[in-house]
Amino acid sequence: MAVGDAQSSQSAGNPLENPAFLVAPQAIFPGLRAQGALPLGDRGVLLTRSADIAALLTNPEVFSSGMGVTQTGAERPLIPLQIDPPAHRQYRRILDPLFSPQQVKAMEGPVSDLARSLVDEIAADREVDFVRQFSVRFPSQVFLALLGLPLDELPRFLELKDGFIRPESITGKPRGHEDSVALLKETATAIYAYFDTVISERQAHPGDDIISSFLAAEVDGARLSREDILDICFLFLAAGLDTVSASLDCIMLHLAQHPGRRQALVADPSLIPSAVEELLRWESPVMMVARFATQDTEIAGCPVRQGQVVTALLGSANTDEDAMDDPDVVRFDREVNRHIAFGRGIHRCLGSHLARLELRIALREWHARIPDYRVPDGFEPRFTTSIRSLVELPLLLGPSA
């Protein structure tokens, strides 16, 4: 999933900053779609309809992913997210096999063990904060295992992730404030330094981990440079940790608030894969992605100047009545589910197979041990902007009294 896209979207006028929108965006999408493409003056255009968003995401020659690098605080483009064709094609030819369904399937055992261990720690409690105790820790531990790093590195990784993705939550100042900008740049420098050390260690002592695979990967004589690997690892830390956490938050809140759907998964775990797809569609945790016009053009009837931002509301596309049947109904038996929660086109999420594996395993292991849970009476969810994760998710475990 695309952290750079989500951050860049803020420059296009972000409706996610409305707390009511974050809590129940599905209720607001139809009204936005009825307005078609929304011109935002100098800030560009906001797209809400599935067909318009498809046109944006499948036309990289006109709508670039590589022009918003400076907005992330990184020194170079994050690979492959902020790389346009033809170089993008070369990177994906090397990286796609490393994250193929077959490669990811081989991780099922270790990832299941991690999930089971976390659930075991939680199952005896009566009340937990799902965010702090599971959704933040689980994908982060998977990431550490993927890199061949010890789990005691988790606090450092979470510090780097938060300093890069949400510096405003640490400084207490808006994202564009000099204090937040300074922390963003400081964190980016620390991320490069951290992975530079890890790469050197893997060059000296290769192992059975993804960085060692990056060092050895080759397609038609092409190999990844050291800077390439640094930029890929940077993206993995920023996108791989936060977006899976956000997806878990949204899915578990939904199930806690809809006990019939939760009970369906407990009664029939074979529904979990389709439930994951349907709840990714419905919740769309990465709500927005952005592209930058490479030339004066127009989209959906709106003129766009070179360099302007065009932002796509993925959640709106995923609930567009012109794109699928019954989009306003959550159905775990949906046979065809062409959602774009992982994006669309050449920049479709490289780690989508791994993310799906993590989500399926998390739901399977959680519901096998903790079939009954609910949010406390009066709980009002608070979501972060851009990537729709929860600040906290208190859950009461066990049957209701």
Q: Is residue 60 part of a domain?
A: yes
Domains held by the chain: number: 1
Q: Is residue 127 part of a domain?
A: yes
Q: Is residue 259 part of a domain?
A: yes
The identity of residue 119, as a single letter, is V
Q: Is residue 337 part of a domain?
A: yes
341-399 pLDDT, tens digit per residue, is 999 999 999 999 999 999 999 999 999 999 999 999 999 999 987 788 999 999 999 98
22-51 pLDDT, tens digit per residue, is 889 999 999 999 999 999 888 889 999 999
The first and second tokens of residue 389, run together, are 């994760």
364-373 pLDDT, tens digit per residue, is 999 999 999 9
Q: Is residue 31 part of a domain?
A: yes
Task: Please report where in the chains the tokens 């399977």 appear, as a residue.
Answer: 364
Q: Is residue 65 part of a domain?
A: yes
Instruction: Give the separation between CA 115 and CA 121, rounded to whole angstroms.
Output: 10
Domain that holds residue 97: 3-369
- Minimum mean pLDDT range among 239-248, 326-335, 390-399: 239-248
CATH code of 360's domain: 1.10.630.10
- Please state the φ and ψ torsions of residue 48, each to the nearest 5 degrees: -130, -15
Give the pLDDT score at 59. Answer: 96
Q: Is residue 83 part of a domain?
A: yes
pLDDT above 80 (res 186)? yes
Give the pLDDT score at 72. Answer: 58
Q: Is the bond preceding 85 in cis, omega lying within 30 degrees of 0? A: no
Q: Is residue 384 part of a domain?
A: no
Neighbour-count burial of 351, counting CB atoms closer than 10 A to its CB (0-12 exposed, 13-18 middle, 19+ buried): buried
Instruction: Give the separation between CA 37 and CA 270, rounded to whole angstroms.
Output: 39
